[in-house]
């Protein structure tokens, strides 16, 4: 029911979901949808019907994340209604991990993306002062404390999914969110300006090796309960296809290697393999980040763009 700003622009006048006491006015947020409202429920049903008709696949994602400003009761009601709609249109609902709080069973899949530790947020003003990306985004100690409080329940989501018999789609923000900016120290000079404008502004910039160190087994999920692995790339900083491929490459191959084998690739071997991929990407006209962590085989330090 969150992430609905575009729908609210298209259909003005939809009422907000009931908000927790004392939240309104403290921090800016787009009010989540109230699926108990007949007009809202009708609009959402129409949209989901269209989405379900457009795909031949068995799944349709219902969202369920970051519903800032909804009471627990309203959130649970909305998730259950969304699941019911999707099933009624002949598809299987898939939701972000928060959707497990509306109940979850063996037929359900929830997408695990976050807990408070992997958000990598500071606790004190001194720690915040050392995070220029957060300061540039206007974040304050008070706002970060409120974020941590809001996301505190995520620490129980994974256990709830497993205890309920559901399966997990792995997309941890810490390693598989590929809209993370590259650390300046791994960016070649010729790509500095491009790298500086790409990536979600509040994530700590990191290198390619960090993504390659992700171990699917670190989450303690039995193999038969893992529904799959999905890397994500959100588009706030993207203006063209070159931007997309620069964010994905060379990090996406490490995600593929871990998903295929169930373990993190050996970094020394993996970066040797990546060095040869660079030539293939150039031949295919794909822009990529020529990280200084890798000795690119026959590649320039600033790949040409098509």
Distance CA 223, CA 2 (A): 31
* Residue 59 pLDDT > 80: yes
Cross-strand pairs, 103: none
| Lowest mean pLDDT, pick from 11-25, 131-145, 168-182, 269-283 | 11-25
Residue 61 DSSP SS3: strand
| Lowest mean pLDDT, pick from 22-31, 110-119, 205-214 | 22-31
Cross-strand pairs, 105: none
Q: Say what percent of the chain tops pLDDT 70.
A: 96
Average pLDDT of the chain to the nearest whole number: 94
Task: Give this prediction's pTM.
Answer: 0.92
- From the CA atom positions of the chain, what is the Rg in Å? 21
pLDDT, one tens digit per residue, over 174-230 is: 999 999 999 999 999 999 999 999 999 999 999 999 999 999 999 999 999 999 999
Question: Do 228 and 260 contact (CB within 8 A), yes or no?
Answer: no
The arithmetic mean of pLDDT across residues 166-181, rounded, is 97
Q: Give every CB contact of residue 297 below 8 A, 6+ residues apart in sequence.
A: 275, 276, 278, 279
Q: Where are the domains of the chain?
A: 5-283
* Residue 306 pLDDT > 60: no
pLDDT, one tens digit per residue, over 130-154 is: 999 999 999 999 999 999 999 999 9
Q: Say what percent of the chain tops pLDDT 90.
A: 92
- CATH number listed for the domain at residues 5-283: 3.20.20.80
The arithmetic mean of pLDDT across residues 159-177, rounded, is 97
For residue 33 the two structure tokens come to 């949808």
Position 298 scores a pLDDT of 60
Position 132 scores a pLDDT of 93
Distance CA 25, CA 225 (A): 41
* Residue 301 pLDDT > 70: no
């Amino acid at each position: 029911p969150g992430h609905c700003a575009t729908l609210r622009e298209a259909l003005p006048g939809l009422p907000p979901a009931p908000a927790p006491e004392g939240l309104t006015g403290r921090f800016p947020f787009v009010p989540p949808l109230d699926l108990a409202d007949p007009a809202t429920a009708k609009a959402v049903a129409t949209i989901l019907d269209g989405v379900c008709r457009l795909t031949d696949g068995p799944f349709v994602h219902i969202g369920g994340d970051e519903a800032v400003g909804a009471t627990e009761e309203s959130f649970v009601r909305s998730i259950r209604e969304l699941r019911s709609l999707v099933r009624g249109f002949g598809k299987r609902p898939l939701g972000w991990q928060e959707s497990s709080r509306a109940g979850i069973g063996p037929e359900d899949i929830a997408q695990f993306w976050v807990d408070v530790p992997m958000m990598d947020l500071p606790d004190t003003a001194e720690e915040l002062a050392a995070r220029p990306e957060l300061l540039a985004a206007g974040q304050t100690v008070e706002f970060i404390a409120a974020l941590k409080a809001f996301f505190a329940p995520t620490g129980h989501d994974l256990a709830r999914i497993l205890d309920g018999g559901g399966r997990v789609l792995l997309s941890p923000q810490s390693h598989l969110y590929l809209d993370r900016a590259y650390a300046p120290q791994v960016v070649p000079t010729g790509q500095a300006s491009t790298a500086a404008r790409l990536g979600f502004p509040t994530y700590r910039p990191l290198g390619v090796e960090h993504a390659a160190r992700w171990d699917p087994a670190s989450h303690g999920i039995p193999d038969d309960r893992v529904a799959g692995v999905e890397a994500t790339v959100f588009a706030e900083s993207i203006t063209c296809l070159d931007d997309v491929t620069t964010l994905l490459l060379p990090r996406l191959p490490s995600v593929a290697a871990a998903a295929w084998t169930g373990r993190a690739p050996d970094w020394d071997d993996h970066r040797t393999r990546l060095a040869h991929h660079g030539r293939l990407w150039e031949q295919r006209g794909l822009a990529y980040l020529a990280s200084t962590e890798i000795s690119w085989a026959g590649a320039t330090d600033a790949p040409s763009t098509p």
